[in-house]
Amino acid sequence: MTTLQSSLLALALATGAISVANLHAPRATKAAGLEWINGIDNAKSVAKASDKPILLLSMFGNIDEDMPCANARTMRAALFPTPEFQEFAKNEVVLAWEKVRNVPHVTIEIDGKVTKRTVRGNAVLYLCNSDGKVLDVFPGQYAKEDLLPAIRETLKLTGGKSDADVIAYHKELGNSAVARAMSITSSKAFVESPSLSLFEAPYESEMMTMAQPPKPGASEDEVLKYRFELAAAGLQDISLRPRPAKELVAEMLPRGKEMTPAQRGEAMRKQDSANNIKFVRPVIHLYLGTQRKLPTTLEAREVVLEKILKVPYKDPNWGLGEIELSGTPNVGK
């Protein structure tokens, strides 16, 4: 830096044109009218300075791109712009986001008309303390009337508590979790399953895996881990299954009721949110209740994405590269 540049910087700081805080402020990305700090590590310093928890959106794709993963863009359009979430985000938490990896895009052109879709991927909201330790996890997408009360309840009962106290809180709530076959991500299926059906994407039905039962006299922790394995295995992401749109409409929406495409999407979005609260959240409680210490978001990622949400994010081809058709290049080639 030259003498002139140093003098100009000093003048700007002295007159308030540049603040020391802004000079060292972590980079952020704007989406849905809100500033999202890039990454959990950058968010921790802001959280400690403001004495607020962190709400991290972990997603596939970029928060400010046109077509990130389906659940992220659904919340960006229907949840984040609501006055209730805006007020909550600005006053009660430090917002942050991260990209796990890019999401696959599908482009369909018919008579010059182009339709774009995404497949695979998902979104997860991690509620963390200012050290970046996970207090709670909200996988999938949510409506404001489901998400905000749940976050505030967790903050009320875990704020300032030790790791052991937070884990005990989740262990108690995990007692409501029941192992059952339950379909999740219905609204995401309406967007992705028809696209997968068009190019006959491979699909292998995942049956509930029977975890090895604990032996007689097993500890409470061993029993809890067994219950978590069973409950997590029962959650099935139906958006992974290729299906025509008409089949989905006939199966998932009320019969005899005429609905526009927008009304169908809103109905499925609210149903997804309710299912996530009722069926996915208890599995999260079981998971966190089995921990010896609160995990970081990176430590929790594999369990949340793979074991609970069934996202094949570690596969370079997202499970779409098992078939090669003569004359058509395979995925990634």
Asked if 155 and 127 touch (Cβ cutoff 8 Å), the reply is: yes
Assess whether pLDDT exceeds 80 at residue 328. Answer: no
pLDDT at 9: 38
In order of 15, 143, 146, 239, 243, the CA distances from 276 in angstroms are 51, 10, 9, 15, 22
Rounded to the nearest integer, the mean pLDDT of the chain is 83
- The more confident residue out of 87 and 195 is 87
Instruction: Please give the domain boundaries of the chain with CATH numbers for all domains.
Output: 25-308 (3.40.30.10)
Residues 24, 97: Cα–Cα separation, whole Å: 19
Name the β-bridge partners of 227.
none
| Secondary structure class of 194 (helix, strand, coil) | helix
* pLDDT tens-digit map of 263-317: 888 888 898 899 999 989 999 999 999 999 999 999 999 999 999 999 989 988 8
Residue pair 137/300 in contact (Cβ under 8 Å)? The answer is yes
Q: Which two tokens stand for residue 182?
A: 């339950």
Using 50, 70 and 90 to split pLDDT, how confident is the model at 13?
very low
Model pLDDT for residues 165-217, shown as the tens digit of each residue: 999 999 999 887 666 666 777 777 767 777 777 666 666 555 445 567 777 87
Range name among 39-43, 86-90, 158-162, 194-198 with the lowest pLDDT average? 194-198
Structure tokens at 259: 């609905």
126-151 residues labelled b (16+ CB within 10 A) or e (exposed) = bbbbbebbbbbbbbbbbbbebbbebb
SS3 182: strand
Between 159 and 238, residue with greater pLDDT: 159
User: Can you give the pLDDT at residue 210?
Assistant: 57
Predicted confidence at residue 23, as pLDDT, reads 40
Average the pLDDT over 221-249 and give the result.
81
pTM summary value: 0.84
Res 120: pLDDT? 82
**CB distance 144 to 88 below 8 Å:** no
